[in-house]
Amino acid sequence: MRAVIFEEFGADLEVREVPSPEPSPGGAVIRVEATGLCRSDWHGWQGHDADIRTLPHVPGHELAGVVESVGTGVGSWRAGDRVTVPFVCACGSCAACVSGNQQVCERQTQPGFTHWGSFAEYVAIDNADTNLVALPEEMTFTTAASLGCRFATAFRAVTAVGRIQPDEWVAVHGCGGVGLSAVMIAAAAGARVIAVDVSPQALELARRFGAVACVTAAAPPETAPGFPAPETAFGSVPPGTPGTDGDGADVATRIRDLTSGGAHVSIDALGAPGTCVSSIESLRRRGRHVQIGLLPGLTALPMNRVIGYELELLGSHGMAAHAYPAMLKAVLDGELRPDLLLTRSIGLDEAGPALAAIGSVPGVTMILPTR
Q: List residues near Zn ion by CB under 5 A.
A: 38, 40, 62, 90-91, 94, 97, 105, 149
- Shortest Å, Cβ 354 to Zn ion: 14
**CB of 116 or CB of 169, closer to Zn ion:** 116
Residue ranges with strand state E in 237-371: 263-268, 283-291, 312-315, 342-346, 364-367
Which residue number is nearest to Zn ion in terms of Cβ?
38
Select from 318, 268, 328 the least CA-distant residue to 96: 318
**CB of 313 or CB of 361, closer to Zn ion:** 361
- Shortest Å, Cβ 128 to Zn ion: 14
- Give the number of other CB atoms < 10 A from CB of residue 225: 6
**CB of 35 or CB of 266, closer to Zn ion:** 35
- Shortest Å, Cβ 97 to Zn ion: 3
Q: Which helix (H) or strand (E) holds 95?
A: helix 95-98
**CB of 96 or CB of 196, closer to Zn ion:** 96
**CB of 59 or CB of 235, closer to Zn ion:** 59
- Shortest Å, Cβ 342 to Zn ion: 14
Q: How big is the CA angle at 253 (ends 252 and 254), to the nearest 5 degrees?
A: 90
163 by Cβ neighbours in 10 Å (0-12 / 13-18 / 19+) ranks as middle
Would you call the peptide bond into 239 cis, given omega within 30 degrees of 0 as the criterion? no
**CB of 40 or CB of 275, closer to Zn ion:** 40
> Which of the 8 DSSP states describes residue 89?
B
- Give the number of other CB atoms < 10 A from CB of residue 309: 17
**Phi and psi at residue 253, to the nearest 5°:** -60, -45
- Shortest Å, Cβ 123 to Zn ion: 14
- Shortest Å, Cβ 252 to Zn ion: 28
218 by Cβ neighbours in 10 Å (0-12 / 13-18 / 19+) ranks as middle
**CB of 6 or CB of 87, closer to Zn ion:** 87
Instruction: Evaluate whether 237 touches 175 at the Cβ level (below 8 Å).
Output: no
- Shortest Å, Cβ 148 to Zn ion: 5
